Structure 1
Amino acid sequence: IFTWYLTSYFACFPALGCGVPAYPPAVSRVVGGENARPYSWPWQASLQYSSSGNWYHTCGGTLIASNWVMTAAHCISSSRTYRVLLGKYNLGIEEEGSIAAQPEKIIVHEKWNSNNVANGYDIALIKLSEQVTLSNQIELACLPSPQSILASNTACYVTGWGRLKTNGALPDELQQGLLLVVDYATCSKFGWWGSTVKLNMVCAGGDGITSSCNGDSGGPLNCQAADGRWEVHGIVSFGSSLGCNFYHKPSVFTRVSDFNSWIEEIAND
């Protein structure tokens, strides 16, 4: 991943039964990315596209309802055919209990501008063609409370199958990396991200060691709530063009708590 580069609940988003993995993640203070415990982030999805008869991982995603996956807008191209893998740990092998779901429709936020990632609104929802059966391997993420803001230095985990370092290899096993939240006041300073970062984003990392990287896009920033449940506060959006792990250039995420009402509107349409 990583050596770079919600509580609004409504009809289909249950207040119970989210954010509590059957196989709790092995959360450590390891510096740098590490292999996750298998199936310990059971809402993690792999968004894949078809090319020449094969499927290729392109982005992460988060299962937020039995037929809805949340990802980043910049992961979506109208010219590609997609599928969503759920219940996966190792992308290189067949795993019992995992499923490949077909999208029925994909909704990109109307304010997303692919020519200006720094404008924000890097969020998309994928409606699956059928409801998936939840299991120990496939569970729903919790969304944070509307407009909730993470405190500086909150410990969160970014997860995904992105590159292990700038221009590095893509791992088969799901990776996790500990990132500390950087508050907006700091992240928007000159020498950090400046005016590039917006209030509807979350910054995390920036230590020059651990970050998201290419292929992690669209995946979750997982933060544990006081009641022990995991909430997905961020969607991997962008990092520094200088490299995945650039000092004072934290990974930048779409702030999910700014989009609760949009998610609700789309999912209940």
Structure 2
Amino acid sequence: GDSCDLKNGGKGTCVNLRQCSTAITLLQEQKTVPQICGFIGFDALVCCNDEKQKAPQNIKEPGAVKCKEYYPYAIYGILIPGGEQSLAREFPHMAAIGFGKTDDIQWLCGGSLISPNYVLTAAHCLNSSQLDRIEILMMIGVGDKMRTQQEVCRLFHEMHPDREPVSQSTVSRIERKYRELGHVRDAPRQAHPISLGMYFRGPPRYVRLGELDFATEQDDAQPQDFTVKRVIPHPDFRPVSGRYHDIGLIELDRNVIPTHHVSFACLDTVRAHKEPQMISTGWGRTEFSGRTSTHLLKINLDTVSIDECQRFYQGARREVPRGVVDDLQLCAGGKPDQDTCQGDSGGPLQLRYEDVGSAIYAYTIVGITSFGKACGLSRTPGIYTRVYGYLSWIEGIVWP
């Protein structure tokens, strides 16, 4: 590269930011913008002198270590604030999770790329064996028409021909139990159509990264498609006992190729945040019972205190029978037009970190979209799984 003069009077060379460990250290540890020589396309060229590199701090948390390692793949570019539609390369960690057959993929959940081969999402998006009872329940109570036990058995077999058939006595037992709790009566009214679609289409089979608008190839996106190698719901996730521990991982069939369109997000390592707003992203519905968006959407959500959130969910004994657990959950949204709707399940609640005047920024995943009341119909905040509460579990799988 060309030679350049450092502000301290020393000599340097203009190189790609990713090749200059000194510049990365300045950004990460001292929050200082490196000296910019210029740009080649979207790549920043910095005046680099690696001889003056400082020794990196000793960080014990694997997630924090990997965040530093992945930082060269941070995002470049000046963004236009506001607006509902996200921009190309704005959220390169955003994953779309697909269900169904190859010729009819339904992108029903979101997630976040946190390593070269792992996506972080919600456990309820993984359709684990623990969801069989919920699936049968939904088959009983979908729509206005209640299915007979025989119809449920037949439908379950059609959906899962490779699995053990379900007996009418099992259906009867589940139906009786949930009728006693009032769930069957409420299920058709309260169940989200997107969730039902997941149950009927089986486990997730596909992951797409780097997508912006599913309806066009002229959106400056460079998507990468993967198949699901393994799904890992949190071992304590029990949907019949409430939406606690609603967090899971998807292992991809191969490593991603990091680009400006596909890169990694960091895991949150801070217990409490003072930021008044966080960002939610997804291809969800823009209104209740409306169509899903083909274009990736973003929205700023106000953070809500646990005490205030508890008041909203006092009667939600099915979702949070023990109330909202502060160590494991957080709340956001609730103002008019501040809802994450169906289809955003598993997607990130995130913070963006950048220096004033810097063209480089990165995202930290604070929460995972878990559930909320019907979008657009109330001023109730959504509930998110708190990533900080599950760091050890995530790190033990992704970076053992």
Root-mean-square deviation over aligned CA pairs: 2.3
CA distance in 2, matches of 1:255, 1:82: 25
- 1:9 counterpart residue number: 62
Identity %: 28
8 Å CA contact retained: 1:25, 1:41: no
CA distance in 1, matches of 2:228, 2:79: 28
The amino acid that maps onto 2:365 is V
TM-score (norm 1): 0.85
What secondary structure is seen at the aligned counterpart in 2 of 1:229? Answer: strand
**Relative to total residues, which structure has the larger strand share, 1 or 2?**
1
Gaps of 5+ in 2: 1-59, 129-201, 315-321, 356-360
- 1:265 counterpart residue number: 396
CA distance in 2, matches of 1:91, 1:160: 12
- 1:109 counterpart residue number: 234
CA distance in 2, matches of 1:11, 1:208: 36
* Candidates 278, 282, 291, aligned match of 1:160: 282
CA distance in 2, matches of 1:22, 1:136: 8
* Candidates 241, 254, 267, aligned match of 2:385: 254
CA distance in 2, matches of 1:237, 1:25: 28
| Per-residue deviation, residues 181-231 of structure 1 (Å, max 9, x unmatched) | 11212212x2x1235322111101111321101000000111134765321
Task: Please tell me whether residue 198 in structure 1 is matched to residue 251 in structure 2.
Answer: no
8 Å CA contact retained: 1:235, 1:253: yes
- 1:136 counterpart residue number: 260
What secondary structure is seen at the aligned counterpart in 1 of 2:105? Answer: strand
Q: Which has the larger radius of gyration?
A: 2
TM-score (norm 2): 0.59
The amino acid that maps onto 1:166 is F
Cα distance, 1:24–1:40 mapped onto 2, change above 3 Å? farther
Cα distance, 1:215–1:193 mapped onto 2, change above 3 Å? same
| Per-residue deviation, residues 61-94 of structure 1 (Å, max 9, x unmatched) | 0000011100000111243351000010011234
The amino acid that maps onto 2:288 is T
Instruction: Summarize the alignment of residues 164-203 of structure 1 with structure 2, pairs less than 5 Å apart.
Output: 164-188=286-310, 190=311, 192-194=312-314, 196-199=323-326, 200-203=328-331
CA distance in 1, matches of 2:341, 2:294: 15
- Work out the number of aligned pairs and report it: 252
Task: Please tell me whether residue 84 in structure 1 is matched to residue 207 in structure 2.
Answer: yes
* Candidates 109, 114, 117, aligned match of 1:67: 117
The amino acid that maps onto 1:237 is S
What secondary structure is seen at the aligned counterpart in 2 of 1:122? Answer: coil
| Per-residue deviation, residues 224-255 of structure 1 (Å, max 9, x unmatched) | 34765321101100011xx2134441011110
